[in-house]
Amino acid sequence: MKKLLFGAIANWLRKPENREKAKRTARDLHGKYQNRKSTPERGPKR
């Protein structure tokens, strides 16, 4: 099952536009994570 899944992902990543889309998504998610991590936490909502 794992081979089938990773094979499908590898096949999808062969296209240059899909690689760019994956890189862009990873950068966006990393940026959101860094922003959330750097902002001070607020107290519990009441």
CA 43 to chain centre: 28
Rounded CA separation 4/25 (Å): 23
Inform me whether the pLDDT recorded for 30 exceeds 90. yes
Query: Is 80 exceeded by the pLDDT of residue 39?
Result: no
Which two three-digit tokens encode residue 11?
Answer: 């096949």
Return contacts of 21-24, CB within 8 angstroms, 24+ apart. none
Q: What is the mean pLDDT of residues 2-23?
A: 94
- pTM, two decimals, is 0.60
* Confidence check: pLDDT of 43 > 70: no
pLDDT at 22: 94
